[in-house]
Structure 1
Amino acid sequence: MVATIAVPSPKSSILQKQNPVSLRDPNCSFLGGSSLKQLKPRNKRRDADHAISLVVPSASLATNTATTTTKTNRGGRFYFNFTGFPFPLGPFLNRSTLRTEAVKGCIWLFEQEQALGFSSVSTNIRMTIIKLKSGGLWVHAPIAPTKECIQLVKELGAPVEYIVLPTFAYEHKIFVGPFSRKFPRAQVWVAPRQWSWPLNLPLEFFGIFRAKTLKDEDSSTPWADEIEHKILSSPEVGIGPYVEVAFYHKRSRTLLVTDAVIFVPRQPPECISKESLLASAKNGLAVKILSKGKEVPEEPIVDNMRNCQKGWERMVLQILFLGPSNLLEPNASFAKMSQKLIVSPIVKTLVFSKVPEKVRDWIDGIARDWRFKRVIPAHFAAPINASRSDFLAAFAFLDDLLGERYATWPSLSLLFASLMGKAASYFPPDDMRTLSSLDQFLVSVGAVKKTVSGRKR
């Protein structure tokens, strides 16, 4: 059964420490286009009732930028959530919401912590809201509608007109119904071919009623003159198809994806609680198993920045690789995976490598038709100042699967993307062993197909 209940509780709170990575393009017309000097992120905590404006050191893909982040102590963070078979999605009782203005007066990001069951592994989950020319709000991938979250949405001073589910994935689907009931006049739109496991339940079971289904490159959607979309709808790669919808906001030249690409920041997202980071820094069973035979010290965890950073690095490696080679000393592997636009190793191995032709058609269409300059995924860092070449580079692994017969865009930009992608999509072989073994096992038992189409022979 799925049970999702929201109850306000003004006494609830979650400690937060780190500043989110925020990247802004100074050429954006919404932001005035002024140059910004690079500043070091501040370590001192501001009063929680004030907005925070930071300029942080950016990665090679991005210019130095600033966003306005709103934190509150208004309460209303209690949200009972014990769902997600076979791994429940936490936090189970408290979810703090962080709002960031990504494009001034136009695009806002709302983030909450998302934990995997009872483990100490957490990441952030993101909802993006775009203000349309009509004055209404377009909501992408809703998050838990706590009292705090809904208040932050209402503070934008505009009605919610559309709520969009851009994927089949459970962690995004589960909040669409509860969120839509907070805004009953809004239209709900969903990605096609929705399914669930172990039971393929209808959307109504998740509280999603009277939803309209998106069609590929459909120009009849009520927001089509401002936001375009392209659908990746693959053949079944295992127990069900992989479906994701990419959106392009033309006025701000922003690409929105769900899980297609990620950008792991050096420091943890601010919405992840300090308690979660310190719990991940402890030398538990997972660390002992993945310590390469080294002695694992039993020592208390001191509440400091170093341990928070260690906890974040361990979280990232477990999320990306499931069983990384060395959790005791995560620095080297983390450095190879952070600060660049990549496809997640799990998505690459278990999904995209199975349907390379479908993925290539999708990303080539995105790069061909949309002149985006920033990308907003649903996890890790955002917004990311990235060009079409950066985006193509993250998918350079498809060239090895498809071969020269499927080559497109015979241009210098494609050559640059391919060369850059060889480094950008590099995954440490030792860290990939567990994921590769899992892939082989799933193929052997028929849970995942070896390939659906297009693998180079």
Structure 2
Amino acid sequence: MLEPIANDLWSATQQISVHGLPVRTRMTVVRLPGGALWLHSPIAPAAALRAALDALGDVRWIVAPNRMHHLFAGAWEAHYPQAALWGAPGLAAKRPDLPQLHSLDQALPAAWQHSLQMQPFEGLPILNECVWLHQPSASLVLTDVLQYYPQDLSLSARLFNSLNGTRSRLAMPRALRFAIRDRAAASAAATRICAWPVQRLVLAHDAVIAEQAQQQLQQALAFLLDSKA
């Protein structure tokens, strides 16, 4: 169930339904120095997945990286009460049932600093997504801001992603482009993300891209990088 991506970096996927469409979503797992595990955008905590994680290290952090990817955060917290739960700015108001939730706009744990950099993707309040760079592998970890759906989809999903601009192409979904509220802030965030030395893209939806990752990233965000607003 866990698939290796790079040293100390894995992912696991799950099929879910979004507005009646079958969608695959990806959880990313980072093993930090010392062996603690950091879970990004957690999927359902199936027993087999938990056993695989327990074999890798101690689950210490659970991260809900935007205001949409939080469905299973509480279930993971129940299984791993020693783990700290972190979420995107604004998520606490949406999930009052998670009283231990820390906001990612606070000071981040020192234990993350050697492996992870974080950049808020500002100007898109529907998500308030936090984008991550796994520095040892130069892997950019994204949730919804950029998506890429392969060809092996149902007919309805192919049609939807063709309309959204994300079928067999790395892009910000058109629906999210229309949701940008502060273009200057989004442009600044995109510029900072594209300045990172990225060699791989790890996308919650729906691929891991290792070929020409930096070039594809620049192309996908070009509409913001060229913004004068």
TM-score bracket, normalised by the shorter chain, equals 0.7 to 0.9
| CA shift digits 1:291-337 (9 cap, x unpaired) | xxxxxxxxxxxxxxxxxxxxx24313225637xxxxxxxxxxxxx85
Instruction: Give CA-to-partner distance per residue, 1:259-284, whole Å, 9 cap, x none.
Output: 1111222224xxxxxxxxxxxxxxxx
The 8 Å contact of residues 261 and 377 in structure 1, kept in 2 or not, is answered as: yes
Supply the distance in 2 between the matched residues of 1:394 and 1:319 (Cα, whole angstroms).
15
* Counterpart pick for 1:266 among 122, 126, 151: 151
Match of 1:211 among 97, 101, 119: 101
Match of 1:163 in 2: 62
Asked if 1:189 corresponds to 2:189, the answer is no
**Deviation for aligned residue 1:100:** 1.3
Aligned to 2:133, what secondary structure does the other structure show? Answer: strand
Q: Is the 8 A contact 1:259 1:379 kept in 2?
A: yes
Name which of 224, 228, 232 aligns with 2:121. Answer: 232
Partner of 1:372: helix, strand, or coil? coil
- Let me know the Cα RMSD of the aligned residues: 2.4
SS in 1 for 2:197: coil
1:362 aligns with 2:189: yes
Aligned counterparts of 1:394 and 1:213: Cα–Cα separation in 2: 28
Which residues of structure 2 form unaligned runs of 5+?
none
| Cα distance between partner residues in 2 of 1:137 and 1:220 | 13
TM-score by length of 1: 0.46
- After superposition, the Cα gap between the structure-2 partners of 1:122 and 1:343, relative to the gap in structure 1 and judged at 3 Å, is same
Contact 1:164–1:190 (Cα < 8 Å) also in 2: yes
Q: Distance in 2 between matches of 1:251 and 1:392?
A: 21
Would you identify which runs of 4 or more consecutive aligned residues in structure 1 move more than 6 Å?
Answer: none
Deviation at 1:128, TM superposition (A): 0.4
Equivalent residue for 2:44, pick from 124, 140, 144: 144
Tell me if 1:112 matches 2:14.
yes
Separation in 1, partners of 2:87, 2:35: 22
Pick closer, same or farther for the CA change 1:219–1:173 going to 2, 3 Å: closer
Q: Which has the higher strand share?
A: 2
8 Å CA contact 2:149–2:168 kept in 1: the answer is yes
Are the aligned partners of 2:138 and 2:200 in contact in 1 as well (CA < 8 Å)?
Answer: yes
Q: Is the counterpart of residue 340 in structure 1 residue 169 in structure 2?
A: yes
Alpha-carbon shift at residue 211 of structure 1 (Å): 2.0
> Would you say 1:246 and 2:131 are equivalent positions?
yes
- CA, structure 1 residues 220+182, in 2 after alignment: closer, same or farther (shift >3 Å)? closer
Q: How far apart are residue 161 of structure 1 and its match?
A: 1.2
- 1:111 partner letter: T
CA distance in 1, matches of 2:52, 2:159: 32
- Please report how far the alpha carbon of residue 160 of structure 1 lies from its aligned counterpart in structure 2 after TM superposition: 0.5
Identity of aligned residues (%): 21
Distance 1:106 1:219 in 2: 20
AA aligned opposite 2:11: L
Pairwise CA distance, 1:146: 2.3
Alignment of 1:118-137 (within 5 A): 119=20, 121-137=21-37
Deviation (angstroms), 1:233: 3.2
2:120, 2:168 → 1: CA distance? 27
1:396 Cα deviation after fit:
2.2
Q: Report the CA distance between 1:139 and its aligned residue.
A: 0.5
Given that 1:320 and 1:344 are in contact with CA atoms closer than 8 Å, whether structure 2 keeps it comes out as no
Instruction: Report the residue type matching 2:67 in the other structure.
Output: F
Q: Secondary structure at the match of 2:198?
A: coil
**Alignment partners' CA distance in 1, 2:18 and 2:135:** 35
Structure 1 segment 374-393 matched on structure 2, within 5 A: 374-393=200-219
Structure 1 residue runs of 5 or longer lacking an equivalent are 1-97, 269-311, 323-335, 407-453
Equivalent-residue separation in structure 2 for 1:128 and 1:399 (angstroms)? 27
- Classify 1:141/1:256 alpha carbon distance in 2 versus 1 (closer, same or farther; 3 Å): same
**1:397 CA displacement:** 2.5
* Matching residue's letter, 2:63: V
Q: What is the aligned length?
A: 229
* C-alpha distance in 1 between matches for 2:160 and 2:213: 28
- Measured after TM superposition, the shift of residue 341 of structure 1 is 1.7
> After the TM superposition, which of the residue ranges 122-131 and 147-156 deviates more from structure 2?
147-156
Partners of 1:165 and 1:190 within 8 A in 2: yes
Q: Who wins on radius of gyration, i.e. which is larger?
A: 1
SS of equivalent to 1:173:
coil
